[in-house]
């Protein structure tokens, strides 16, 4: 019993030491990233708030790029350093995402890329490579461009410059020792604005020189503005319904409306009932017509007329009433006239059959 009590006391002392050591250990602060959520020195929270205060519609993209449908505003992408956050790598832009970005720009969107690293898929966007330069804290703006209107100098940490080519479609925006550190060029109906130093929009230097004005010129050219946060690990999964485009949503709602109207129409009457036409009484006319055609094709019309005439004469001997005798006499005379024709037609054959049927049924004379 005493040994058990000693074990409990020993375990409690060990637990107390672990707790004290964990509390005494200094807390490590998370690194500041180029995110609009980040309020640290590298964050973009300040430029995000500046855009909103200046009346620019600004938002955050926390979903896959494939969920952007018919976007024609400005998308800001700042990959930053590759890090492992919550089991997934941040700062990575896949080649499939680069292809989606190219399609967005071609359809009319502006893409602002800040600090594309060596693993950034440049080929899809025709983005020039960068080369190291001597560290510089300021860059000179090139006048005469809407993206640098009112901007003379920008502060930042410039360690790389774009490999300059003489292509006419590439516009130089910022220079360090005549080396471009910010460029713009057109793809389709949109533009790609690439800045080698992502820190020019960060909280730490936004108030320096004309950084805020430069950010406003670049981001407000096409509205709304979306800050891509999925590249920094801020992702929000959507349902199947959320990723479908608006046209599919409209089609589903229309189909549901049609279904509701169909169910409603089946349950509730909205008009008086329509009476169906009475069923037509069937007679032997069709049968007689078909038999007449069959007999004509068999060249048996004369024999059939002869049988009809004998049948009519037999019916006439059934002692009909006085009112029926005159009609019977007329019918018999007509039958004899048809019978005397050596080549009766199909019409005469039908007439003989109808006369015989009339004598047997319509006058009530049954065999």
Q: Which of 240, 274, 309 is the last residue of a domain?
A: 240
The values of phi and psi at residue 14, to 5°, are -60, -45
Give residue 153's pLDDT: 94
Whether 302 is in a domain gets the answer yes
Whether 39 is in a domain gets the answer no
Q: Which of 210, 240, 270 is the last residue of a domain?
A: 240
Domain carrying residue 178: 45-240
Give residue 180's pLDDT: 94
Whether 367 is in a domain gets the answer no
Whether 14 is in a domain gets the answer no
Q: Which of 216, 240, 264 is the last residue of a domain?
A: 240
What average pLDDT does the segment 149-173 reach? Answer: 86
Domain count for the chain: 2
Task: Give yes or no: residues 90 and 159 share one domain.
Answer: yes
Residue 79 belongs to a domain with what CATH number?
3.40.50.880
Give residue 44's pLDDT band: very low, low, confident or very high (50, 70, 90).
Answer: very high
Task: Give yes or no: residues 229 and 314 share one domain.
Answer: no
Task: Give yes or no: residues 155 and 221 share one domain.
Answer: yes
Task: Give yes or no: residues 76 and 202 share one domain.
Answer: yes
Whether 266 is in a domain gets the answer no
**Whole-prediction pTM value?**
0.56
Whether 267 is in a domain gets the answer no
Task: Give yes or no: residues 202 and 95 share one domain.
Answer: yes
Task: Give yes or no: residues 211 and 319 share one domain.
Answer: no
Task: Give yes or no: residues 173 and 84 share one domain.
Answer: yes
Give residue 327's pLDDT: 76
Q: What pLDDT digit, counting tens, does each position of 307-345 carry? A: 877 877 777 777 666 667 777 778 778 888 887 877 777
Task: Give yes or no: residues 159 and 295 share one domain.
Answer: no
């Amino acid at each position: 019993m005493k040994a058990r009590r000693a074990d409990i006391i020993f375990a409690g002392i060990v637990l107390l030491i672990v707790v004290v050591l964990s509390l005494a250990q200094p807390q490590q602060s998370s690194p500041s990233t180029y995110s609009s959520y980040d309020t640290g020195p590298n964050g973009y929270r300040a430029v995000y708030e500046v855009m909103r205060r200046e009346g620019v519609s600004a938002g955050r993209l926390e979903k896959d790029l494939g969920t952007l449908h018919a976007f024609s505003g400005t998308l800001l992408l700042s990959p930053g350093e590759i890090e492992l956050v919550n089991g997934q790598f941040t700062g990575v832009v896949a080649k499939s995402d680069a292809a989606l970005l190219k399609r967005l720009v071609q359809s009319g969107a502006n893409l602002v890329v800040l600090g594309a690293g060596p693993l950034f898929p440049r080929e899809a966007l025709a983005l020039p490579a960068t080369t190291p330069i001597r560290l510089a804290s300021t860059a000179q703006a090139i006048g005469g461009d809407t993206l640098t209107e009112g901007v003379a100098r920008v502060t930042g940490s410039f360690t790389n410059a774009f490999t300059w080519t003489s292509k006419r479609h590439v516009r130089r925006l910022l220079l360090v020792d005549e080396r471009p550190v910010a460029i713009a060029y057109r793809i389709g109906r949109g533009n790609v604005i690439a800045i080698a130093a992502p820190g020019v929009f960060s909280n730490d230097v936004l108030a320096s020189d004309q950084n805020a004005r430069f950010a406003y010129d670049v981001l407000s050219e096409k509205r709304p503005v979306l800050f891509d946060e999925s590249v920094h690990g801020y992702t929000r999964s959507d349902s199947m319904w959320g990723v479908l485009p608006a046209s599919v949503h409209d089609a589903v709602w229309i189909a549901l409306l049609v279904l509701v109207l169909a169910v409603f129409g089946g349950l509730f009457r909205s008009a008086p009932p329509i009476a169906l036409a009475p069923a037509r009484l069937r007679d032997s006319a069709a049968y007689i017509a078909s038999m007449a055609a069959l007999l004509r094709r068999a060249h048996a019309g004369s024999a059939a007329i002869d049988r009809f005439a004998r049948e009519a004469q037999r019916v006439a001997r059934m002692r009909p009433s006085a009112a029926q005798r005159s009609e019977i006499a007329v019918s018999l005379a007509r039958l004899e006239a048809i019978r005397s024709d050596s080549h009766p037609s199909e019409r005469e054959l039908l007439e003989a059959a109808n006369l015989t049927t009339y004598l047997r049924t319509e006058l009530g004379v049954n065999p």
